[in-house]
């Protein structure tokens, strides 16, 4: 009887600890936190590039600036906002990500890492972490694009 209790207790601890996971950190914790609270008017003539799908602009904000990209033209999730800070060299301001002439990819010219413009995913390394994204909300009624974190 005592042996069965010991086996049951050991089995219970084994099951309990098998469900414990090591705490994972946000993969973009290497990017310094900077409060972002920006409103943009995509229909403003100054932002004419955002009036068509595939258009993008640089805006001030975040750590090294933000790239705003127009994905679709049919709802509140039309836009994506990506931090320009390289996830490979987050402390090097010279490694700010830039849009390449193909208007599809982004590059950190210091490390040579590339990301996709439409979602910030890594195309080639040495970077292995996607670019940091900010929350975006486009209000068709007011014409305001809000970028927040």
More confident residue, 19 or 110: 110
Residue appearing with tokens 């010991």: 6
pLDDT tens digits, one per residue of 118-143:
999 999 889 999 999 999 999 988 99
Helix, strand, or coil here: 78? coil
The pLDDT tens digits for 41-57 are 999 999 999 999 999 99
The full set of domain ranges for the chain reads 36-148
Mean pLDDT throughout 73-86?
Answer: 86
Whole-angstrom distance, CA of residue 66 vs CA of residue 95: 14
Position 106 scores a pLDDT of 96
List 148's β-bridge partners, or say none: 37, 135
Look up the CATH number of domain 36-148.
2.102.10.10
Q: The whole model's pTM is what? A: 0.77
Kindly list the strands in the beta sheet with 79-83, ordered across the sheet, starting from the edge strand earlier in the chain.
37-40, 144-148, 133-139, 79-83, 66-70, 56-59
């Amino acid at each position: 009887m005592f042996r069965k209790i010991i086996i049951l207790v050991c089995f219970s601890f084994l099951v309990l600890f098998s469900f414990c996971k090591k705490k994972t950190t946000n993969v973009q914790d290497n990017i310094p936190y900077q409060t972002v609270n920006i409103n943009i008017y995509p229909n403003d003539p100054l932002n004419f590039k955002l009036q068509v799908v595939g258009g993008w602009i640089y805006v001030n904000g975040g750590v090294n600036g933000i790239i705003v990209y127009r994905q679709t033209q049919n709802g509140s999730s039309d836009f994506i906002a990506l931090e320009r800070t390289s996830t490979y060299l987050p402390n090097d301001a010279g490694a700010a990500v830039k849009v390449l002439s193909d208007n599809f990819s982004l590059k950190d010219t210091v490390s040579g890492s590339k990301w996709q413009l439409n979602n910030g995913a890594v195309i080639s390394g040495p970077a292995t972490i996607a670019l940091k994204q900010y929350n975006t909300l486009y209000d068709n009624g007011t014409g305001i694009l809000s970028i927040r974190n």
